[in-house]
Amino acid sequence: MRKFRYLIYKDYLLLKRDVAGLLLMFLMPIVLVILMTLLQESTFRAITDASVPLILINKDKGELGKAIDKELELSGVFKIDRQIDGKVPTLQELEREIASSKYTLGILIPENTTENIQKNVARYVLATFSGAMELPAMDSVGFVIYVDPTTKASFYTTIMSTLKEKTQKIEFDYILKEITRQVNEISPISISTAGFAGQQVYIDIRDAQLEGKDMVPNPVQHNVPAWSLFAIFFIVISLSGSIIRERQDGSFSRLLTMPCSYTEYLLSKAIVFTLVSLIQFGLMLLIGVYILPLFGTESLNLGSSPLALILLGLSAALAAIGYGIAIGNIADTSHQSAVFGAISIVIMAAIGGVWIPTFIMSDTLRTIGMFSPMHWGLSGFLEIFMLDAGVKAILPESGMMILFGLVCFIIALAFNYRRRLDV
Amino acid sequence: MGNTYAIETRDLKKTYKGKAHPTLNGLSLRIPYGSLFGLLAPNGAGKTTAINIICGLRKYDSGEVLVDGHSLADGMKSIKPLFGLVPQDIALFPTMTAYENLKILGGLYGIQKSLLEKRINELLELFDLSASRHSYINRFSGGMKRRVNLIAGMLHAPKILILDEPTVGVDAQSRRLILEKLVDINRSGTTILFISHYLEEAEQICTEVAFMDNGSVICQGPPSDLRDIYKSCDSMESMYLLLTGKRMRDNQ
């Protein structure tokens, strides 16, 4: 055991003096997690906080104008101005403001709109009840809407349909109310539509959920575990590099001529790098909980099972260490291991959903991503953070990562045996 | 113990995969206890393979290897503490100090902490490195690195010391110091297997030498005896060229 402590001390000193490796393992993921979270957060905010600038000129003194004004305000979609430089604009001024793109939309509700609708409804009801064969002439009721010509077609369609939906609902409510009033004037029995909401068909829109809870992570929930896994896997560069350097400078051979077995040699590296991984992981979680909220993001909720978190972190570390040891034994030079290690990790991260969450990937990419150890890890962490999962729930992900590490370790042993036997 | 030889190989054979000719072709080498034994061979003759097999770093196809009477076939556990290897490469950790390197390597031999400290101090003093004990290896000169490399193989006071070209690339002062100390160490009872391309070094310090070529020993004995046999050769170098030929061996 005392001898083994010297091996661990050796690997600790080698790591401590590897400044580039330490920067790669600690500084890079810290910068990435903060930067990527903030970038995604600001994009998210830009979409959700967006409001369409609109000028509303309401010349109608009746109920319809007031109702439309109120509905547009309540929709939250529009930032409404009613005056420009302290006065109500004319139609020409309205057009000029929209054409110069200061506003996206301009709406004019003409004078007497409510009154004209009332008159039209009264004529219609009267004609209907008097048995007239032809409908009477109606006063025209129309809004003027100006739209910024640079507005994208898709955005224009969305805005116009929203606007139409709102005005038609108000118009319908108002017409129903007017018909009721007119009918009550000529009918001996009083009727009421107060309890009639008008909307009979409900479209229930829901977010897709897994086991009753929302599985679309926010930027913090996604980025903290994603970049933690990326950081853990990046130890591969330092680990494989140290194995190759020791093999090339002869110190590995010297160690094997000492009372020290190959298993002890690898175990020492595994212990040191497991500790590094757990420190990286802890650091990233702390950033998610305490540092990111300082930049205005949500704080990371760590779930309720610390044991599940540790198990998953440990499994990810074992997967990365196994992979690092395998590369260290397969590659002939540090350059080979650094290039292959870095590229393979970036690919694993890309398909595993570290860069871009898997839920926005195509089906094909999502299927390919299922083979990435980082995907297993990320799924496990999301279960803990979002579904409050415990140890039992993350056992499949944890098991897959441990198995991956084990397979890599066996490959490393086979390559080392072959090297000693024949090279 | 009953055995006469510190290291003995019997009909040792090794052919690397894809090679037409065996690297070791029935190597039978006998290194007596207490000798300072020089193994001299041209490039590609198989001496590094032989050393690696003796140290347990390579597998062999057939034959037998005995170190202090222990067969390699029975495992390396009882053999490892008996010898110290000083490889041709500077097998040290360059980002550590000389002291840190020696502390770790000595610790791996299981030497008690206080004894290890004493041993490190003695050997650093012996090889004139005390003042540089806390300097990093990657800032050492070639000669200083060689000397620390040598100390690392001797920390546990092994019965057998195996040196693969210990003076390559060092200046005359360091070379003289290393050779002097090796003779002293040998006189104190340590068997030394010394591999070198510098034939005059072997002639100067070895009590026995073996010439090796094409994977087997072609001639072995004390330098004085060999000079009696090959009277026409006025130096070890001419004897070496007579026995191994003048053909270049670069591609072997």
Contact between B96 and A14 using a beta-carbon 8 Å cutoff: yes
Chain A interface includes B238 (CB < 8 A)? no
Q: What local confidence, expressed as pLDDT, does residue A162 receive?
A: 66
Q: Average pLDDT, stretch A296-300?
A: 90
Contact A413, A265 (CB under 8 A): no
Domain ranges of chain B: 5-244
The pLDDT tens digits along chain B (252 residues) read: 457 899 999 999 999 888 888 999 999 999 999 999 999 988 888 888 999 999 999 999 999 999 999 999 999 989 999 999 999 889 999 999 999 999 999 999 999 999 999 999 999 999 999 999 999 999 999 999 999 999 999 999 999 999 998 988 888 888 899 999 999 999 999 999 999 888 888 888 999 999 988 889 988 999 888 888 888 877 777 877 877 776 666 554
| Selection from A84-88, A146-150, A396-400, B58-62 with the highest mean pLDDT | A396-400
Nearest to B57 among A13, A249, A420 (CB): A420
Closest CA to A122 of A56, A184, A30, A48: A184
Cα–Cα distances in angstroms (integers) from residue A359 to residues A44, A219, A312, A335, A362, in the given order = 16, 13, 21, 35, 8
The per-residue pLDDT for A199 is: 56
CB within 8 Å of A214: residues ≥ 6 apart: A207, A386
Q: Tell me what pLDDT residue A100 has.
A: 85
State the Cα–Cα distance between residues A45 and A297, nearest whole angstrom. Answer: 10
Confidence of residue A31 (pLDDT cuts 50, 70, 90): very high
For residues A265-270, average pLDDT: 94
Nearest to B93 among A5, A10, A256 (CB): A10
Cα–Cα dist B42/B59, whole Å: 22
All structural domains of chain A with their residue ranges: 2-45+219-422, 51-205
A185 touches chain B (CB under 8 A): no
State which H helix or E strand residue A269 sits in.
helix A262-286
Minimum Cα–Cα distance from A12: chain B residue: B96
Q: What type of residue sits at position B191?
A: T
pLDDT of residue A206: 55
Contact B56 A256 (CB under 8 A): yes
Distances (CA, A) of B26 to B7, B10, B12, B29, B68: 15, 7, 5, 10, 20
- Token pair for A412: 């490393």
CA distance A24 to A54: 50
Mutate to test the interface with A, among B15, B108, B154 (most CBs of A within 10 A): B108
pLDDT of res. A134: 76
A335 touches chain B (CB under 8 A): no
Residue B71 backbone phi and psi in degrees, to 5: -80, 140
Query: pTM of the entire structure?
Result: 0.73
Q: How many whole angstroms separate alpha carbon B62 and alpha carbon A397?
A: 47
d(CA A342, CA A130): 85
Q: Note which residues in 7-46 of chain A have CB less than 8 A from chain B.
A: 7, 9-10, 13-14, 17-18
Partnered with residue B211 across adjacent β-strands are B40, B219
Nearest to residue A10, comparing CAs of B85, B81, A18? Answer: A18
Question: How far is residue A340's CA from residue A336's CA, in Å, rounded to a whole number?
Answer: 6
Tell me if chain B has a CB within 8 Å of the CB of A419: no
Q: Between chains, do B92 and A249 touch, taking CB under 8 Å as contact?
A: yes
User: Among candidates A13, A2, A1, which has minimal Cα distance to A251?
Assistant: A13
Contact A253 B100 (CB under 8 A): no
The alpha carbon of residue A400 and the mean position of all alpha carbons in its chain are separated, in whole angstroms, by 25
Range of lowest pLDDT (A128-142, A167-181, A183-197, B165-179): A183-197
The Cα–Cα gap between B164 and B185 comes to 16
* pLDDT tens profile A130-158: 777 777 777 777 778 888 877 767 667 76
Res A361 pLDDT > 90 = no
Query: Cα A168 to the chain's mean position, in Å?
Result: 35
More confident residue, A198 or B49: B49
Judge: B91–A249 Cβ closer than 8 Å, yes or no: yes
Q: What is the pLDDT of residue A165?
A: 74
Query: Bigger pLDDT: A210 or A140?
Result: A140
**Measured between beta carbons, which residues in chain B are less than 8 angstroms from residue A5?**
107
B117 touches chain A (CB under 8 A): no
Q: Which chain B residues are closer than 8 Å to A259 by Cβ?
A: 77, 80-81, 108-110
CATH number of A51-205: 3.40.1710
Cβ contacts of B64-67, under 8 Å, gap ≥ 24: B64/B9, B64/B10, B64/B11, B64/B12, B65/B7, B65/B8, B65/B9, B65/B10, B65/B12, B66/B3, B66/B5, B66/B7, B66/B8, B66/B9, B66/B10, B67/B6, B67/B7, B67/B160
Residue A254: name the closest of B192, B120, B85 by CA: B85
Q: What pLDDT sits at residue A152?
A: 66
Picking from B175, B102, B169, the residue whose alpha carbon sits closest to that of residue B183 is B175
CB within 8 Å of chain A, chain B residues 37-66: 52, 55-59
Q: Which stretch of A27-31, A90-94, B155-159 has the lowest confidence by average pLDDT?
A: A90-94
Q: Which of A101, A107, A95, A108 lies closest to A148, judged by CA?
A: A101
Give the C-alpha separation, A153 to A146, whole Å: 14
Among the listed residues B55, B47, B68, B49, the one whose alpha carbon sits nearest the alpha carbon of residue B190: B68
pLDDT at residue A228, rounded to an integer:
94
pLDDT at A284: 95
**Cβ–Cβ under 8 Å, residues A386 and A217:** yes
Mean pLDDT of chain A, nearest integer: 85
A422–B16 C-beta distance less than 8 A = yes
> Computed from CA positions of residues B35, B36, B41, B44, in that sequence, does the dihedral angle turn out positive or negative?
positive
Cβ pair B80:A2 closer than 8 A: no
Average pLDDT over residues A99-108: 85
Q: Is B15 exposed, middle or buried (0-12, 13-18, 19+ CB in 10 A)?
A: middle
Average pLDDT over residues A256-268: 90
Q: Which CATH number fits domain B5-244: 3.40.50.300, 3.20.20.70, 1.10.3720.10, 3.20.20.370?
A: 3.40.50.300
Best residue of B85, B99, B104 to probe chain A, by most A CBs closer than 10 Å: B104
> What ipTM score was computed for the predicted complex, to two decimals?
0.88
| Phi, psi of B216, rounded to the nearest 5 degrees | -150, 165
Cβ distance B104 to A6 less than 8 Å, yes or no, reads yes
Residues 6+ apart with CB under 8 A from B115: none
pLDDT of residue A154: 65
What lies within 8 Å, CB to CB, of B50 at 6+ separation is: B9, B12, B24, B27, B29, B39, B212
Contact A6/B108, CB-based, under 8 Å? yes
- pLDDT band of residue A212 (cuts 50, 70, 90) is very low
Q: Which two tokens stand for residue A61?
A: 């003194």
Q: Provide the H-helix boundaries in chain B.
A: 47-54, 98-108, 113-126, 142-154, 172-187, 199-205, 223-229, 236-244
Q: Which helix (H) or strand (E) covers residue A37, if one does? A: helix A28-48
B80 to A257: CB separation less than 8 angstroms, yes or no: yes
Arithmetic mean of pLDDT, A162-170: 70
The pLDDT of residue A163: 67
Chain B nearest-CA distance from A372, in A, is 35
Percent over 70 (pLDDT), chain A: 89
Chain A: nearest CA to B183, how far in angstroms?
23
Nearest to A7 among B52, B83, B108 (CB): B108
User: What's the average model confidence in pLDDT over A84-106?
Assistant: 86
